[in-house]
Amino acid sequence: MDMYISILIGVVVVFAIYFYSLYAGIIQNKNNALEALSGIDVQLRKRYDLIPNVLTIAKKFMEHEQELFEKITQLRTQASNAPLGSKEKFQAEGALDTQLKALMVNVENYPALKSDATMIQAMQTYNEVEENIAAARRFYNSSIKVLRNSVEIFPGCLFAACAGKALELEFFETDVESKKPINASQYL
Protein backbone atom coordinates (compact mmCIF):
# COMPACT_ATOMS: atom_id res chain seq x y z
CA MET A 1 0.00 0.00 0.00
CA ASP A 2 2.84 2.42 0.83
CA MET A 3 4.36 1.71 -2.56
CA TYR A 4 1.13 2.75 -4.32
CA ILE A 5 0.92 5.95 -2.29
CA SER A 6 4.57 6.74 -3.13
CA ILE A 7 3.90 6.15 -6.83
CA LEU A 8 0.76 8.29 -6.68
CA ILE A 9 2.63 11.11 -4.94
CA GLY A 10 5.40 10.83 -7.51
CA VAL A 11 2.92 11.05 -10.39
CA VAL A 12 1.21 14.07 -8.80
CA VAL A 13 4.58 15.79 -8.29
CA VAL A 14 5.57 15.12 -11.93
CA PHE A 15 2.27 16.58 -13.18
CA ALA A 16 2.61 19.58 -10.88
CA ILE A 17 6.13 20.25 -12.18
CA TYR A 18 4.95 19.80 -15.77
CA PHE A 19 2.02 22.20 -15.40
CA TYR A 20 4.16 24.73 -13.56
CA SER A 21 6.72 24.63 -16.38
CA LEU A 22 3.92 25.23 -18.91
CA TYR A 23 2.66 28.18 -16.87
CA ALA A 24 6.17 29.60 -16.47
CA GLY A 25 6.82 29.15 -20.20
CA ILE A 26 3.71 31.13 -21.12
CA ILE A 27 4.70 33.94 -18.75
CA GLN A 28 8.19 33.97 -20.29
CA ASN A 29 6.73 34.10 -23.80
CA LYS A 30 4.40 36.94 -22.80
CA ASN A 31 7.29 38.92 -21.34
CA ASN A 32 9.43 38.27 -24.44
CA ALA A 33 6.63 39.59 -26.65
CA LEU A 34 6.27 42.71 -24.53
CA GLU A 35 10.04 43.19 -24.55
CA ALA A 36 10.07 42.87 -28.35
CA LEU A 37 7.29 45.45 -28.59
CA SER A 38 9.32 47.77 -26.40
CA GLY A 39 12.31 47.22 -28.71
CA ILE A 40 10.24 48.43 -31.66
CA ASP A 41 9.23 51.48 -29.65
CA VAL A 42 12.87 52.33 -28.87
CA GLN A 43 13.80 52.15 -32.56
CA LEU A 44 10.75 54.18 -33.58
CA ARG A 45 11.70 56.87 -31.07
CA LYS A 46 15.09 57.10 -32.77
CA ARG A 47 13.28 57.54 -36.09
CA TYR A 48 10.96 60.17 -34.64
CA ASP A 49 13.96 62.09 -33.30
CA LEU A 50 15.75 61.87 -36.64
CA ILE A 51 12.84 63.01 -38.83
CA PRO A 52 12.87 66.71 -37.79
CA ASN A 53 16.62 66.87 -38.43
CA VAL A 54 16.30 65.35 -41.91
CA LEU A 55 13.40 67.65 -42.75
CA THR A 56 15.28 70.73 -41.53
CA ILE A 57 18.29 69.87 -43.68
CA ALA A 58 16.14 69.05 -46.70
CA LYS A 59 14.02 72.23 -46.42
CA LYS A 60 17.09 74.33 -47.15
CA PHE A 61 17.33 72.77 -50.60
CA MET A 62 13.85 71.48 -51.39
CA GLU A 63 11.64 74.55 -51.26
CA HIS A 64 9.01 73.05 -53.57
CA GLU A 65 8.34 69.98 -51.42
CA GLN A 66 6.36 71.65 -48.62
CA GLU A 67 3.39 69.29 -49.01
CA LEU A 68 5.63 66.24 -48.50
CA PHE A 69 7.22 67.81 -45.41
CA GLU A 70 3.80 68.55 -43.92
CA LYS A 71 2.56 65.03 -44.63
CA ILE A 72 5.63 63.48 -42.97
CA THR A 73 5.27 65.76 -39.96
CA GLN A 74 1.58 64.88 -39.63
CA LEU A 75 2.25 61.13 -39.93
CA ARG A 76 5.12 61.34 -37.42
CA THR A 77 2.76 62.92 -34.87
CA GLN A 78 0.02 60.40 -35.62
CA ALA A 79 2.37 57.42 -35.34
CA SER A 80 4.07 58.63 -32.17
CA ASN A 81 0.70 59.22 -30.46
CA ALA A 82 -0.89 55.89 -31.43
CA PRO A 83 -0.98 53.21 -28.70
CA LEU A 84 2.01 50.88 -28.77
CA GLY A 85 1.13 47.52 -30.35
CA SER A 86 -2.15 48.74 -31.83
CA LYS A 87 -3.28 48.30 -35.41
CA GLU A 88 -3.47 52.11 -35.67
CA LYS A 89 0.21 52.36 -34.71
CA PHE A 90 1.23 49.83 -37.34
CA GLN A 91 -0.86 51.52 -40.04
CA ALA A 92 0.52 54.96 -39.21
CA GLU A 93 4.05 53.57 -39.23
CA GLY A 94 3.47 52.03 -42.66
CA ALA A 95 2.20 55.33 -44.07
CA LEU A 96 5.11 57.22 -42.49
CA ASP A 97 7.55 54.71 -43.94
CA THR A 98 6.07 55.23 -47.42
CA GLN A 99 6.40 59.02 -47.17
CA LEU A 100 9.96 58.82 -45.83
CA LYS A 101 10.93 56.62 -48.77
CA ALA A 102 9.35 59.20 -51.07
CA LEU A 103 11.46 61.89 -49.41
CA MET A 104 14.63 59.86 -49.93
CA VAL A 105 13.73 59.39 -53.60
CA ASN A 106 13.11 63.14 -53.84
CA VAL A 107 16.57 63.88 -52.46
CA GLU A 108 17.97 62.46 -55.70
CA ASN A 109 16.55 65.49 -57.56
CA TYR A 110 18.69 67.91 -55.59
CA PRO A 111 22.41 67.34 -56.27
CA ALA A 112 23.46 70.02 -53.77
CA LEU A 113 21.39 68.33 -51.07
CA LYS A 114 22.57 64.87 -52.05
CA SER A 115 26.19 65.96 -51.65
CA ASP A 116 25.68 67.97 -48.43
CA ALA A 117 27.76 66.32 -45.68
CA THR A 118 25.08 66.81 -43.05
CA MET A 119 22.43 65.26 -45.29
CA ILE A 120 24.71 62.34 -46.14
CA GLN A 121 25.21 61.65 -42.43
CA ALA A 122 21.46 62.02 -41.77
CA MET A 123 20.63 59.57 -44.58
CA GLN A 124 23.17 57.05 -43.28
CA THR A 125 21.69 57.34 -39.80
CA TYR A 126 18.20 57.02 -41.26
CA ASN A 127 19.20 53.81 -43.09
CA GLU A 128 20.69 52.36 -39.90
CA VAL A 129 17.56 53.20 -37.92
CA GLU A 130 15.35 51.63 -40.60
CA GLU A 131 17.44 48.43 -40.49
CA ASN A 132 17.12 48.35 -36.70
CA ILE A 133 13.36 48.87 -36.94
CA ALA A 134 13.08 46.00 -39.42
CA ALA A 135 15.08 43.72 -37.11
CA ALA A 136 12.97 44.75 -34.10
CA ARG A 137 9.78 44.03 -36.06
CA ARG A 138 11.02 40.57 -37.04
CA PHE A 139 11.89 39.81 -33.40
CA TYR A 140 8.50 41.10 -32.28
CA ASN A 141 6.57 38.99 -34.81
CA SER A 142 8.60 35.93 -33.81
CA SER A 143 7.84 36.56 -30.13
CA ILE A 144 4.12 36.95 -30.84
CA LYS A 145 4.16 33.67 -32.80
CA VAL A 146 5.84 31.81 -29.93
CA LEU A 147 3.41 33.29 -27.39
CA ARG A 148 0.36 32.41 -29.45
CA ASN A 149 1.63 28.90 -30.10
CA SER A 150 2.23 28.36 -26.39
CA VAL A 151 -1.35 29.31 -25.48
CA GLU A 152 -3.18 27.81 -28.45
CA ILE A 153 -1.67 24.33 -28.34
CA PHE A 154 -3.00 21.95 -25.68
CA PRO A 155 -2.35 21.93 -22.71
CA GLY A 156 -1.08 25.52 -22.88
CA CYS A 157 -4.60 26.67 -23.73
CA LEU A 158 -5.51 25.81 -20.13
CA PHE A 159 -3.24 28.67 -19.03
CA ALA A 160 -4.11 31.18 -21.76
CA ALA A 161 -5.57 33.61 -19.24
CA CYS A 162 -2.14 34.14 -17.68
CA ALA A 163 -0.97 35.77 -20.93
CA GLY A 164 -3.65 38.43 -20.48
CA LYS A 165 -3.62 41.51 -22.70
CA ALA A 166 -0.47 40.34 -24.48
CA LEU A 167 -2.66 37.98 -26.52
CA GLU A 168 -4.40 41.01 -28.02
CA LEU A 169 -1.15 42.22 -29.60
CA GLU A 170 -1.22 42.09 -33.37
CA PHE A 171 1.47 40.84 -35.70
CA PHE A 172 3.24 43.71 -37.37
CA GLU A 173 2.13 43.80 -40.99
CA THR A 174 2.72 46.66 -43.34
CA ASP A 175 -0.29 48.27 -44.95
CA VAL A 176 -1.11 47.72 -48.61
CA GLU A 177 0.32 51.11 -49.60
CA SER A 178 3.70 50.32 -48.03
CA LYS A 179 3.98 47.06 -49.96
CA LYS A 180 3.78 48.84 -53.31
CA PRO A 181 7.05 49.89 -54.89
CA ILE A 182 7.69 53.61 -54.89
CA ASN A 183 7.17 55.18 -58.27
CA ALA A 184 10.13 57.55 -58.45
CA SER A 185 8.69 59.32 -61.50
CA GLN A 186 5.99 60.84 -59.26
CA TYR A 187 8.66 62.72 -57.34
CA LEU A 188 10.99 63.67 -60.18
pLDDT for residue 132? 92
Among 17-21, 97-101, 160-164, where is mean pLDDT lowest? Answer: 160-164
Confidence of residue 99 (pLDDT cuts 50, 70, 90): confident
- pLDDT (tens digit per residue) in 156-184: 777 777 777 767 777 776 655 554 555 54
> CA–CA separation, 144 vs 169, rounded Å?
8
Contacts for 75 with CB less than 8 Å, ≥ 6 apart: 92, 95, 96, 99
Query: Rounded to an integer, what is the distance from CA 35 to the centroid of its chain?
Result: 11
Residue 171 backbone class (left: φ over 0; alpha: ψ -120 to 50; beta: rest): beta
Q: What is the mean pLDDT of residues 4-25?
A: 92
pLDDT for residue 9? 93
Crossing angle of helices 87-107 and 117-152, in 10° steps, is 150
The pLDDT of residue 32 is above 70 = yes
Q: What is the mean pLDDT of residues 62-71?
A: 80
- pLDDT (tens digit per residue) in 111-157: 777 777 888 888 888 889 989 998 998 999 899 899 888 888 888 77
> CA–CA separation, 108 vs 54, rounded Å?
14
Answer yes or no: CATH 2.30.42.10 is held by domain 2-186.
Answer: no
Q: Indicate the residue type of 105.
A: V
pLDDT for residue 17? 94
29-33, 63-67, 158-162: which has the highest mean pLDDT? 29-33
| CA angle at 74 for the pair 76 and 81, rounded to the nearest 5° | 50
